Structure 1
Amino acid sequence: SEQEIQKQIEKIMDQAMRRSERYRKMKKAGISPDSIKRAFEKPVPMKVFSWKGIIDTVMTPMDSIRYYKYILNAGLMSMEPQTGYVRAYVGGIDYRFFKYDHVTQAKRQVGSTFKPFLYTLAMQEGEYSPCYKVPNISYSVPLPNGKFWTPHNADSRRIGEEVTLKWALANSNNWISAWLISRFSPQAVIQMAHKMGVTSYIPPVPAIALGTPDLSLYEMVGAMNTFPDKGVYIKPIFITKIEDKNGNILYQVAPKKTEAMSEITAYKMIKLLEGVVESGTGIRLRYRYGFNNPVAGKTGTTQNQSDGWFMGIVPRLTTGVWVGAEDRSVHFRTIKLGQGANMALPIWAIYMRKVYKDPSLGIRVSDDFAKPLKNIDIEFDCAKYDKKHKALNTDTPQGDHF
């Protein structure tokens, strides 16, 4: 109800006031809480952030807090698959007013951008192919306490039909994620995430299949970069070397690489994630932004629409974008506005347009993902896959029918 929303807003505002630098200084000076509150309602001259530049104004400290709550922040990081070099790093929108780094410091709920870890397990085992079909129905996963975890889906498309794993990931289907985590285990997914460079604690519960963990953008970009780097995790490199004034090398980085998965598994994941952009939650990259080149991606939206993510991979650049308020309790009221495809994906699109326009960067629209050296016969076009199996008079594709 509106009354409950108003109470929630008042609570958020009070917490924000108490966390502010002004409040802490006044409290340290021995001023009583009531006097501080009154001071926060008195107009004072101040400089505030705006998208068009700094504004000199007069407002109450409380109004300035309210004003800043309406401003969304963002983080962006790009790295090169082949070298691990970090090519772009934007920790926030303006360091003078927002001093928190949203690339390495901040850890936020990742939403569906976590699902590729789960799907990597499925593709790795050899039991499942991208065109493997699963009934699109609600699944319940038993918990140790005897209860069941039963997630909901964001939409009602194709309920009761058999859907491919490619379609399920492209459309960020929660039921199929629940089905997959019941086939493996939370521990196996966590192990895969760690192999791909994630170092944060991930609770071993089935709900991680939908992206409940809090991770940094730095971790997510490093992990997703494993796919275009043919299954090899490379720790992101910020500094390659340090020299003194005479050119003597004081420090030189030694890239840290570990094999997280096979080259074939990594390629399968690239093809699955291309489906997100071809026909899934990232399709607006095609029709709104005109990206018709190979792009693998994954959108992410959190439970209460407070965090929007987009992980976008092109053959020579892996980029992640996070968008949200500084305060995670501030969120959009509807999923239409608060989804990753609406919050984070447009930033990726505008950024990549500029990257492609600069020939000195060597990142071209004509680039394509390299196929594995080992000749593999896996069908990623599931309509073709179906025709082939119907012609052979087989049942629904199961297992490793590649």
Structure 2
Amino acid sequence: MVLKRIKSPFLRYTLLATLALVLFFFVFILSIYWGAWGSIPNKEELSDFQYQRASEVYTADSVLIGKFYLYDRQPIAFEAIPEHLRNALVSIEDERFYDHSGIDYQSLGRVAVKTILMQDQSAGGGSTLTQQLAKNLYPRRDRKKTNIVVDKIKEMVIASRLEDIYTKEEILTHYLNTVSFGDNTFGIESASLKFFNKQAKDLNVEEGAVLVGMLKATYGYNPRIFPERSLERRNLVLQAMANNHHLSNEEKDSLTDKPLKLDYRDFDNNAGLAPYFREEVRKQLLKWNAKQKEEGHDYNIYTSGLKVYTTLDYNMQFWAEEAMREHMQSLQGRFEKSYGKNAPWRTNKKLIEKVVKQSGIYQKLKKQGLEHGQIIDSLSKKKQMVLTDWDGEKTVQASSIDSITHYMKFLNTGSLALDPKTGAVKTWIGGIDFEHFKFDHVAQSKRQVGSTFKPIVYTTALETGILPCTYFSAEEVAYENLKGWSPSNSGKKDETYLNYSMEEALSHSVNTVAVKVLEKAGISNVLTMAKNMGIFSKLPEQPSLALGTGEIYLNELAGAYASYVNDGKAVLPYLIEKITDKKDSVLMEFKPKRARKTAFSEETRQIMIEMMKGTIDRGTASRIRSTYKLNNAIAGKTGTTQNNKDAWFVAITPKLVHVTWVGLDHHEIGFKSTSLGQGANAALPIFAKWMQEMNKHPYYNEITKAQFERPNPAILEMLDCEPVKRDGFFKRLFKNPDKKKTKKFRKGN
């Protein structure tokens, strides 16, 4: 025996101890290999692992505007990874990547000597890119130091198996598709889009070096948070590339001198372009996904890497949001100034209490069993918080009640533009700020539509045989069978003696005439017409219907107005063109849906377009021409509801229908005055500013320069009459403008 020949007991015991330690370590490694410390994936499992991929949302012009994900990852092929980026990665992370078979024993030896013998904690871990890939695919669950050795050995085993299955190119590709860049961003493609707003294949050398440099510490070298550290790390990567002969010293020096430039774009659901639109897309995808599962298809909108191609136009949406922000900021200032110190969000205690009780935080405390007084005491305590207004965020000392009253004063909006031939949505703005106001005023909000309902009344009248040059008195009437209900106009008493043609009454939105037209056309006929034009909301079977007391969704109203430039057929607004899987195979295509039945005749359609042109050219929306100097072919209608609660504007062009609503979420608060809250002032400018911007860009000439077809000469002849006729002398003599005419409203026409 060798041990017996060793005479020194110390040497004998040392050798025994060493052999025992080696044997123990060998058994320990075998126990890990055999799964005693947790299973290790076999080659079959490693050859078929699947990424969790983010689903992507694109505009009609192929711009990526959003993602749905648990992990923000967009895997790409090896060919899409630029060579300089691969060289940067290998140079700084694993110089002998192409020489080892998953484990770099030379590097491990260096680390062991430096860490154990020299106590150098900066020596690193000696992990190869293949081992790091193993860690990316099977993250360490237990962070205790006692498990580090087990985890390291597991990763070595997995790395060896990966090297047996995949080529070096495939390992690099898998690594760059799985590695984390922080902020729930995984993979080089997602990181490239986030930090530089470009695909990985388009990264230049210094940009690639920035991203590779982040891998050592995704937070510490985040170029957005720590630009100076990131710059230093980038230059270290460039130096490593030069050391490994991937850059000349001249190239390295030139790139090192360049400043750090980001084009940061976070795909946060609360931020970015069209957040309300993206949320509606998500909801529709979930419904589609549920149906797919019923049919046996296993798709997940957060992990399956679906591609969703929408109808949205990127530039049109961008300009629409800019126009909205510019107008709403100005309008908010004038709105608050009009109320002054007596604003209801300051002085109306009953309203404030009602809004507080409706708040989420109040309801949460109530569910916890607190009494009203206790809840109010809790919500009244001041603390440091961030409040947002049109000037940005401000850190203040305020209570939860202060926060609630702060946000209840904000005017909100909803606007939608669609292609009237198909219903394809081109712009969608559900509110002023998705982060603070999640409620979507396009798809979720039903509001009284005011005078924007009048065209439906007039359309019905024409269909029942009433000629456009029929005159109706503007005289105010008290209807005996409606408890003396008496709709009025905002004009002067002199209107009592005026008789309006239908065209003039519509263009100037004369309330008294609208009710009389409704009476003559018949309420039931108007309700039927509304239904045929795509209005599916239940409407009041009352004379006030003529003034727009019915509550309708904004997208519903847009689909109805589309019929005026779509051969009399309403459309159903739609958002998604098609859905594909990660391999670009089409899973579903969405076709336009328009009414099968024509709601009204071609003659009526042409007359209504001419009448609504009058609204723009000389009626309630004439500031389109005078103030905003728009010469586009536009027809439309303004709308303002009772007590100035809702402001509306609908614009019809040959290629687009655009609807805008402005108001407050709390119905108890309206505009202080009609001059401020009327549709022409509160809602119209959003469309006008948007159209002004579109007119600047020749690419959109097909839309902006489109003209309505010339009406049939017979139509023009039917409209050729005096707009207004004044009562004769004797009729005026026996009319008392201070006394209302009384009569019964005839509902049965």
Per the TM superposition, whether the score is higher than 0.5 is yes
Q: Is 1:153 equivalent to 2:489 in the alignment?
A: yes
Where 1:274 maps in the other structure, the secondary structure is helix
* Corresponding letter in the other structure for 2:593: K
1:105 deviates by 0.4
On the 8 A contact 1:233/1:257 being kept in 2, the answer is: yes
Q: Where does residue 470 of structure 2 map in the other structure?
A: 132
Q: Is 1:273 equivalent to 2:612 in the alignment?
A: yes
The 10-residue stretch of structure 1 (304-313 or 359-368) with the greater mean CA deviation from structure 2? 359-368
The change in CA–CA distance for 1:382 and 1:44 in structure 2 (over 3 A counts) is farther
The change in CA–CA distance for 1:357 and 1:5 in structure 2 (over 3 A counts) is closer
Structure 2, unaligned runs of 5 or more:
1-340, 726-749
Give 2:622's match in structure 1, choosing from 271, 283, 296: 283
Q: Which has the higher contact order (CA 8 A, sep 6+)?
A: 1
Q: Where does residue 395 of structure 1 map in the other structure?
A: none
On the 8 A contact 2:461/2:518 being kept in 1, the answer is: no
Give 1:193's match in structure 2, choosing from 530, 554, 558: 530
Residues 6-56 of structure 1: CA distance to partner in whole angstroms, max 9, x if unpaired? 998211100110111111122122222112112222212222222233333
On the 8 A contact 2:416/2:442 being kept in 1, the answer is: yes
Q: Is 1:18 equivalent to 2:354 in the alignment?
A: no
On the 8 A contact 2:648/2:659 being kept in 1, the answer is: yes
1:378 deviates by 3.4
Structure 1, unaligned runs of 5 or more:
387-402
Q: Where does residue 367 of structure 2 map in the other structure?
A: 28
* Corresponding letter in the other structure for 1:75: G
On the 8 A contact 2:577/2:590 being kept in 1, the answer is: yes
- In the TM superposition, 1:175-254 aligns within 5 A as 175-254=512-591
Give 1:294's match in structure 2, choosing from 613, 619, 633: 633
- In the TM superposition, 1:3-402 aligns within 5 A as 9-129=348-468, 131-141=469-479, 143=481, 147-156=483-492, 158-258=495-595, 259-371=598-710, 376-383=715-722
1:110 deviates by 0.8
CA distance in 2, matches of 1:253, 1:206: 39
CA distance in 1, matches of 2:702, 2:409: 36
On the 8 A contact 1:141/1:206 being kept in 2, the answer is: no
On the 8 A contact 2:411/2:663 being kept in 1, the answer is: yes
CA distance in 1, matches of 2:564, 2:393: 41
1:149 deviates by 3.6
Q: Where does residue 86 of structure 2 map in the other structure?
A: none
* Corresponding letter in the other structure for 1:203: P
Structure with max Cα Rg: 2
* Corresponding letter in the other structure for 1:204: E
CA distance in 2, matches of 1:119, 1:384: 16
The change in CA–CA distance for 1:337 and 1:22 in structure 2 (over 3 A counts) is same
TM-score, normalised to structure 2, is 0.48
Could you say which structure has the higher strand fraction?
Answer: 1
1:385 deviates by 11
On the 8 A contact 2:423/2:593 being kept in 1, the answer is: no
On the 8 A contact 1:355/1:363 being kept in 2, the answer is: no
Where 1:237 maps in the other structure, the secondary structure is coil
* Corresponding letter in the other structure for 2:419: E
CA distance in 1, matches of 2:383, 2:526: 52
Residues 204-252 of structure 1: CA distance to partner in whole angstroms, max 9, x if unpaired? 1111111101111111111111112121112112112222233332212
Where 1:382 maps in the other structure, the secondary structure is coil
Could you say which structure has the higher helix fraction?
Answer: 2
Residues 123-174 of structure 1: CA distance to partner in whole angstroms, max 9, x if unpaired? 2233312x3222221235564xx74542111212533122211111111111
Q: Where does residue 393 of structure 1 map in the other structure?
A: none
Give % identity.
35
CA distance in 1, matches of 2:652, 2:708: 10
On the 8 A contact 1:185/1:206 being kept in 2, the answer is: no
1:350 deviates by 1.0
Residues 276-327 of structure 1: CA distance to partner in whole angstroms, max 9, x if unpaired? 1111111111111111222111111110111111111111110000001111
* Corresponding letter in the other structure for 1:252: E
TM-score, normalised to structure 1, is 0.88
